[in-house]
């Protein structure tokens, strides 16, 4: 029962967080599109475009994986795949909220009008560092993936 409860907690929480990451990324995309760096639109820079693209792919991947796990859970299963969701969740949060922090740039430390709400994004960024700990650490999730999904030996 305890193991099944943990499996469901990871899956359902990831599903919720993917919605929040979708909303966050849409906001960051709009802000990035309106941002100038060095007198040029930020998104003219292929490095920023690539990072934004990577965030987009990761959020979509997390959503697809989350819905797949939820479908299995709804049919009465307790899929160990929710550990994949949890590893993805931590990686997506680090990527998207790391993007927010870099978008703020030096304004992460001082307030500026017409900019991202720095307190909100800083708070989200620092909290996201806990995503690879709560609900079972990344190492524990990888152990579950190795033994329960890939069938690898325990030692």
Ligand X SMILES: Cc1cc2nc3c(=O)[nH]c(=O)nc-3n(C[C@H](O)[C@H](O)[C@H](O)COP(=O)(O)OP(=O)(O)OC[C@H]3O[C@@H](n4cnc5c(N)ncnc54)[C@H](O)[C@@H]3O)c2cc1C
Kindly list the catalytic residues.
9
91 contacts ligand X (rule: CB under 6 A): no
Kindly write out the interface string for residues 104-123 of this chain, putting x where it contacts ligand X by CB under 6 A and - elsewhere.
--------------------
How near is the Cβ of 37 to ligand X at its closest, in Å?
34
Q: Which is nearer to ligand X, 4 or 64 (CB)?
A: 4
Strands (DSSP E) contained in the chain are 36-37, 40-41
How many residues bind to ligand X according to rule CB under 6 A?
9
Is 130 near ligand X (CB under 6 A)? yes
For residue 154, state whether it binds ligand X (rule: CB under 6 A). Answer: no
Q: Closer CB to ligand X, residue 112 or residue 120?
A: 120
Which of 106, 153 has the CB closer to ligand X?
153
**Residue 9 to residue 3: CA distance in whole angstroms:** 10
Distance CA 60, CA 54 (A): 10
The DSSP bridge partners found for residue 41 are: 36
Cα angle: 43, vertex 29, 123; to 5 degrees: 120
Contact track, ligand X, 11-50, x by CB under 6 A: ----------------------------------------
Cβ atoms < 10 Å from Cβ of 113: 4
- Output the six-digit token pair for 29: 């995309």
Cβ proximity to ligand X, 107 vs 126, nearer residue: 126
* Residue list 133-152, contact with ligand X (CB under 6 A): 133-137, 139-140, 143
DSSP assignments along 65-98, one per residue: HHHHHHHHHHTT---TTHHHHHHHHHHHHHHHHH
């Amino acid at each position: 029962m305890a193991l099944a409860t943990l499996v469901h907690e990871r899956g359902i929480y990831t599903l919720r967080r993917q919605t929040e990451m979708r909303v966050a990324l849409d906001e960051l995309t709009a802000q990035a599109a309106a941002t100038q760096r060095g007198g040029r639109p930020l998104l003219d820079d292929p490095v920023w475009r690539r990072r934004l693209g990577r965030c987009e792919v990761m959020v979509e991947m997390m959503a697809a994986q989350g819905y797949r796990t939820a479908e299995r859970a709804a049919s009465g299963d307790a899929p160990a795949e929710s550990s994949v969701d949890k590893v993805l969740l931590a990686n997506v949060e680090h990527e998207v909220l790391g993007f927010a922090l870099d978008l703020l740039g030096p304004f992460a430390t001082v307030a500026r009008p017409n900019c991202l709400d720095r307190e909100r994004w800083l708070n989200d960024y620092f909290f996201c560092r806990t995503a690879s700990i709560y609900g079972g650490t990344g190492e524990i999730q990888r152990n579950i993936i190795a033994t329960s999904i890939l069938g690898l030996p325990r030692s």
